[in-house]
Structure 1
Amino acid sequence: MARRTPLPPPPPPAELRSWPDRETLLADRARAMAELTKRQLGRRRLTFFLLFLVLAHLGWGLVGGALIGIFDDELSDPLTMISVTVMAALGTAVLIPTVWGVAHGLRSDVLCRERLAQWAGLDRDAARDRAVREPWLGILWAVLSFALCAFGLWVSFAVPNMVVGPTRGGYGTVAYFMGAALVLWVHGLIGLTKAYAHYRLAVRLGGLGVSGK
């Protein structure tokens, strides 16, 4: 499998810059900023964001099923105990690489934001920056992420009250739904952070000054 194209590098230090003219600098700046924006908010990044959300819920669903079996059901026979152990092991096997993937994405996002700020601080170019300032990317991430947070809030408060009771469920069920709500919250906050960072960049490029900080 081909390796993914590396991120655009940061602009060279002032003493090493060798652009022949301002137009060449602006062209390189525009290409780097467009690629960095796509890496943060583009369709590929959104696909991976949703994929990790599904995998996290799949892994936690298996672990949560094991918790329900341990705390809410009677493990009265060896076959049930084996099934619970297998579910927990499979869920953990899914969760570990998923958590690693989310953490890797967060590191990549931080690096992209730093490099975007560095490239934006080189100069101003209203015409080329228009593509980076397009609001629909940030709006899409903001709406989706807000929905995840709102649904997670509902799950964490409403669902346990509906499913937990003397004849319905117990501690394992509560743990499962609280974990599912946490997955929604974490992904929602990640997305909201990305949307807010894009909004800040769009405002800075739109006329309130550009800073490399």
Structure 2
Amino acid sequence: MPRDLPPPPPPAHLRAWMDDTVVRADRARFLSDLGRHSLGLGRLLLLWAVSAVFALGWSFVGMALMAFEAPDPFSAVFGLVFAVLGAGVLIPAGFWFAWGARRDRQVRRLLSAWAETDRDPAADSRLRAPGRSLTWLLSSFVLGALGLWLTFGTALSARAGEDTYGEVTYYMGLGMILWITALLGTAKAAAHYHWALRAFRRS
């Protein structure tokens, strides 16, 4: 596990020899820490940061598309440069996103493992984190509404002869990045809340 994540719980046969008070205290502390790793403000900002990097890379791609549509040959050279810059931003952003998804899976595994070690109604009720889930949901709703407006608004308002294919593609792609980010945020908040309800239904 990464150093900044809590360790997995000790096996059941070892916990039987440990002080119950110590195990319960570790459980409450580690679950609280993992809850922040899962739905903390830092995770939300990280998701938006990845989205911003994707938007930056897509901006270079959009400029490349618009340059390729220009009639002069020098624009094609600029378009190639913008395309390379876009790939140089989007590819690392993809690796960054994959790292975040892998880390989220590690956090979920640790949450499930520690939740199954014991029951502590006071600590478990806080881990449901309805306030943090609501923050993720509301912010994702606003971001998704903006993304859908930008995507479909661009498509509906495009006029032949006035807007180029590159411009329309760029703005629609930017809108898709926003609402896909919103979908990810909504799914993450809903999944955590429903998991907490199932995991602690007897608490």
CA–CA separation in structure 1 for the residues paired with 2:45 and 2:179: 18
Which of 73, 77, 88 lines up with 2:73 in the alignment?
Answer: 77
> Is residue 67–residue 78 contact of structure 2 (8 Å, CA) maintained in 1?
no
Query: Which deviates the most, 137-146 or 166-175?
Result: 166-175
Which of 13, 23, 27 lines up with 2:25 in the alignment?
Answer: 27
Structure 1 residues 63, 19: CA separation in 2 closer, same or farther (over 3 Å shift)? farther
The ranges of structure 1 where at least 4 consecutive aligned residues each deviate by more than 6 angstroms after the TM superposition are none
Deviation for aligned residue 1:141: 0.8
SS of the equivalent of 2:109 reads helix
Counterpart position of 1:146 = 141
> Is residue 40–residue 109 contact of structure 1 (8 Å, CA) maintained in 2?
yes
SS of the equivalent of 1:123 reads coil
Aligned 1:1-213 pairs, distance under 5 A: 5-17=3-15, 20-71=18-69, 73-74=70-71, 76-78=72-74, 80-162=75-157, 164-204=158-198, 208-209=201-202
Query: Which deviates the most, 24-33 or 177-186?
Result: 177-186
Deviation for aligned residue 1:69: 2.0
Deviation for aligned residue 1:146: 2.0
Deviation for aligned residue 1:22: 1.9
- Matched AA of 1:62: F
Deviation for aligned residue 1:193: 1.8
Map Cα deviations across residues 146-204 of structure 1 (whole Å, 9 max, x no partner).
Answer: 22222222222111222x22232232223212321221132112211210122114423
Query: Which deviates the most, 176-185 or 115-124?
Result: 176-185
Aligned pair count reads 202
> Is residue 129–residue 205 contact of structure 1 (8 Å, CA) maintained in 2?
no
- Matched AA of 1:199: Y
CA–CA separation in structure 2 for the residues paired with 1:157 and 1:198: 30
CA–CA separation in structure 2 for the residues paired with 1:161 and 1:69: 23
- Matched AA of 1:196: A
CA–CA separation in structure 2 for the residues paired with 1:40 and 1:165: 44
TM-score, with structure 2 as normaliser: 0.88
Deviation for aligned residue 1:18: 5.1
Structure 1 residues 19, 140: CA separation in 2 closer, same or farther (over 3 Å shift)? farther
> Is residue 57–residue 85 contact of structure 2 (8 Å, CA) maintained in 1?
yes
CA–CA separation in structure 1 for the residues paired with 2:168 and 2:15: 58
Deviation for aligned residue 1:140: 0.9
> Is residue 133–residue 205 contact of structure 1 (8 Å, CA) maintained in 2?
no
- Matched AA of 2:138: V
SS of the equivalent of 2:7 reads coil
- Matched AA of 2:36: K
SS of the equivalent of 2:36 reads helix
Structure 2 residues not aligned, in runs of 5+: none
Give the superposed CA RMSD.
2.1
